[in-house]
Amino acid sequence: MTARGSRFRKLRAVVLDWAGTAVDFGSIAPTEAFVRALSRFGLTAGAKDVRSFMGLAKRDHARALLGLESLRVQWRSLYDRDPTETDVDEVYALVESLLRSVAAERCDPIPGLLEMAKALRANGIRIGSTTGYSREVMASVIEASARAGYSADCVVTPRTDLPGRPAPWMMCECARLLDVYPMDAIVKIGDTAADVEEARNAGTWAVGLAMSGNECGLDLEEYRALDPTRAEEIRRAATAKLTAAGAHFVVDGPWDCMPVLERIEELLRSGLGPAAAGARSAAELRSAVPDNPYLLLTPGPLSTSKGVRAAMLRDWCTWDREYNDIVQGLRSRLVALLGPKASSEYSAVPMQGSGTFAPEALRSPIITSFLDPESPGWSFEAFYEALKARGFVLYPGKISKARTFRVGTIGDVFPRDFRRLGAAVREIR
């Protein structure tokens, strides 16, 4: 059943992966565990080797790695024989031991996850999960994630009688535990090709994440520091790989998923299920439902020409990837100022200003207002002077009963400028 007033009538459940999808931006924990475990056997494996099999059950992952010719050559040199199933068991046991501590340390929710989970539950959508981690590893991950504000309605792990990805059985078990059917009514979201294959084999929708997990392979700070050109190169390569695996849609991370889920709802209402949709190109699926239907009620100041005002009727700006990355980075950094666990309780909401001064051709599209932190030690004047000394000038709040300050993105402003601003704010703390 969906919630009364829900905008979802056909979509009933979303199943998420864990590392790289829900928590652990960049899927760092399993990569580190495998690299460290293999090194203890005298083997040198790069992160790229480890990531090529990410998403599999960890025993299968260990077996696949020891099957790589580059590692088999190293093994023969060290032990005068090929690796055996017993060796696979030993590598797997060490990986498990490392993961039980490492995975629990990397359980910060990925940006956008908590907001998505809240929206799904508000609409009566169940949240399931599958993972390549064992039940023993997941015990600490589940506990740490719950403390950070995220939990799933069910957690399915691979076991002897329930093979992991790319087999469909964990998805089928999720459907059983959630009491959701048909499989058309389920969406799987994950950051690896194995996630996508698992979904397609189970007959569900598949949404791949290009930038938050395995395919990008960077932690959150590294991702935010990416040069835009390099980010686009990674995005294209990841999108191509996940699409080749069968993803119906590929987006950057959890922060982009709700519009896709709404699109899938519309496709389901039109009678198109995941099997039939899989035969269509990504472009056809995108065009099946109009992009960005949101209209601006005040499209630009009265001084603009009729042509410009017509072009501004649709809210294109906030759907631009680079713009979204900048705003999301600012929001996350502002919330982080309140403490390490603040993201589970607070969110920074940008508010667009409407005053203009410079001629239209020279104007930046936004002035963003931020609420003053609710901290006994907060002083806008001190914050203003400290930032000014570092080359940044803020504005005091305006036309609001709430106490706010404003950040104006005026002139040639680039992601590196926002990274400098974030670093300056951290210094002032």
Which two three-digit tokens encode residue 211?
Answer: 């930038």
CB atoms within 10 A of CB 343: 20
Catalytically annotated residue among 24, 49, 58, 191: 58
Alpha-carbon gap, residue 10 to 361, rounded angstroms: 46
Strands (E), 94-184: 126-130, 154-156
Provide φ and ψ at 155, rounded to 5°. -125, 120
Report the candidate in 25, 190, 195, 191 with the shortest Cα–Cα distance to residue 111: 25
Catalytically annotated residue among 17, 60, 191, 325: 17
Alpha-carbon gap, residue 78 to 198, rounded angstroms: 36
Q: Respond yes or no: is residue 219 known to be catalytic.
A: no
Q: CB within 8 A of 192, min separation 6: which ones? A: 17, 20, 27, 54, 55, 213, 214, 215
Report which secondary-structure segment, H or E, holds 205: strand 205-209
Task: Give me the residues paired with residue 368 across strands.
Answer: 352, 407
Report the candidate in 145, 153, 126, 211 with the shortest Cα–Cα distance to residue 344: 145
Per the CB < 8 A criterion, the answer to whether 14 and 195 are in contact is: no
Per the CB < 8 A criterion, the answer to whether 196 and 23 are in contact is: no
Q: Strand 367-371 relative to strand 351-352: parallel, antiparallel, unpaired?
A: antiparallel
How far is the CA of 275 from the CAs of 194, 201, 209, 278, 306, in angstroms? 18, 10, 20, 5, 45
Distance of CA 211 to the CA centre of its chain: 7
Length of the chain: 429
Q: Respond yes or no: is residue 48 known to be catalytic.
A: no
Question: Which amino acid belongs to residue 145?
Answer: S
Per the CB < 8 A criterion, the answer to whether 192 and 20 are in contact is: yes
Distance of CA 310 to the CA centre of its chain: 34
Question: Which amino acid belongs to residue 57?
Answer: A
Per the CB < 8 A criterion, the answer to whether 364 and 410 are in contact is: yes
Per the CB < 8 A criterion, the answer to whether 54 and 27 are in contact is: yes
Active site (catalytic) residues: 17, 58
